[in-house]
């Protein structure tokens, strides 16, 4: 065979394969899309994702630490984030509810239903506790559970805090991916103090710090204590978290008292609001941020 007929055969094969791929793509475009999304669960708030750049600029896991029996609050928080699912921009932000072992018959059915419907729950191997090492268990379990597809950042927050995913995403976009400790620096009236830490209302660690905590003997031994202060002490003692990002005043407590360095009126440039301990506080906060503004009039209901 001479070289010209050889190259003709090669071109023919290449052309045919290209056509097969194209045909497949046109006939089953959903398959391509689904596969690129397959790492996230149905309810994950994957901002979707221009076809040209299928890879998100960063991936953030938000773990909302809660308890199994808080069905109503979980429902509310889930809705509040689901209504923002198109706001995460080019980032992937996954919200997961995190608690310890289930303890009764009722939970084993009701929570199984939630998982079937939303698939947004992580159950840790622990007994329910607040300051008894749950945060340590959270970070060290996440490190192993997502070993194969690690996040860039992992957040710990609670079910009395509301984060605005667009503002949160924007604020993270330009930041380093390593040695990051992000949140609300506490105490806020002593910015020079040596022992400051990020408030438990919601703080973010870069993945390298999550790995470090999971493998740190010191953290494992000192896992019991006020959770946010304890996380801060691991990092300080280990000389980690030097990329410290204090988001005050865009993170703050709900204003149900006189203004203080950690508490003020709701403002447009908010990243997160904390101390939403009642449905009414949630309602006022969500209304302020126009979360229900898109509701269309209908014969079927009247809201006012």
Q: How far is the CB of 289 from ligand NAG (least distance, A)?
A: 5
Q: How far apart are CA 194 and CA 188, in angstroms?
A: 12
Q: Which residues bind ligand NAG (CB under 6 A)?
A: 101, 125-127, 268, 289-290
Considering the complex, state which of residue 220 and residue 236 has its C-beta at the smaller distance from ligand NAG.
Answer: 220
Q: How far is the CB of 170 from ligand NAG (least distance, A)?
A: 14
Q: How far is the CB of 293 from ligand NAG (least distance, A)?
A: 6
List phi, psi (to 5°) of 133.
105, 10
Considering the complex, state which of residue 113 and residue 293 has its C-beta at the smaller distance from ligand NAG.
Answer: 293
Q: How far is the CB of 46 from ligand NAG (least distance, A)?
A: 24
Q: Which pair of tokens denotes residue 4?
A: 């010209």
Considering the complex, state which of residue 126 and residue 214 has its C-beta at the smaller distance from ligand NAG.
Answer: 126
Q: How far is the CB of 250 from ligand NAG (least distance, A)?
A: 12
Residues 231, 204 contacting (CB under 8 angstroms): no
Considering the complex, state which of residue 125 and residue 194 has its C-beta at the smaller distance from ligand NAG.
Answer: 125
Considering the complex, state which of residue 88 and residue 180 has its C-beta at the smaller distance from ligand NAG.
Answer: 88
List phi, psi (to 5°) of 290.
60, 30
Q: How far is the CB of 268 from ligand NAG (least distance, A)?
A: 4
Considering the complex, state which of residue 144 and residue 299 has its C-beta at the smaller distance from ligand NAG.
Answer: 144
Q: How far is the CB of 232 from ligand NAG (least distance, A)?
A: 25
Considering the complex, state which of residue 72 and residue 265 has its C-beta at the smaller distance from ligand NAG.
Answer: 265
């Amino acid at each position: 065979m001479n070289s010209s007929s050889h190259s003709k055969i090669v071109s023919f094969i290449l052309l045919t394969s290209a056509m097969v791929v194209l045909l497949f793509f046109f006939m089953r475009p959903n398959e391509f899309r689904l596969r690129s999304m397959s790492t996230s669960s149905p309810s994950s708030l994957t901002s979707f994702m221009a076809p040209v750049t299928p890879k998100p600029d960063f991936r953030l896991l938000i773990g909302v630490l809660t308890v199994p029996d808080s069905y109503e609050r979980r429902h509310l928080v889930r809705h509040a984030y689901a209504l923002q699912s198109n706001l995460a921009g080019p980032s992937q932000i996954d919200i997961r509810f995190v608690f310890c072992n289930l303890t009764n018959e009722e939970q084993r059915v009701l929570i199984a239903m939630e998982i079937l419907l939303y698939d947004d729950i992580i159950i840790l191997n622990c007994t329910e506790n607040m300051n008894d090492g749950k945060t340590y268990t959270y970070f060290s379990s996440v490190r192993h559970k997502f070993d194969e597809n690690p996040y860039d950042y992992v957040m710990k927050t609670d079910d009395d805090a509301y984060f605005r995913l667009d503002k949160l995403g924007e604020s993270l976009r330009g930041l380093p991916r390593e040695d990051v400790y992000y949140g609300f620096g506490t105490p806020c009236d002593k910015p020079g103090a040596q022992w400051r830490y990020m408030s438990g209302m919601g703080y973010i660690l870069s993945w390298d710090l999550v790995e470090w905590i999971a493998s740190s003997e010191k953290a494992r031994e000192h896992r019991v204590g006020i959770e946010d202060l304890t996380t801060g002490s691991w990092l300080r003692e280990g000389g980690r978290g030097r990329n410290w990002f204090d988001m005050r005043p865009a993170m703050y407590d709900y204003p149900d008292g006189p203004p203080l360095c950690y508490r003020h009126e709701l403002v447009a440039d908010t990243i997160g609001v904390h101390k939403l301990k009642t449905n009414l506080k949630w309602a006022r906060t969500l209304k302020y941020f126009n979360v229900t503004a898109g509701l269309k009039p209908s014969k079927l209901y009247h809201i006012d």
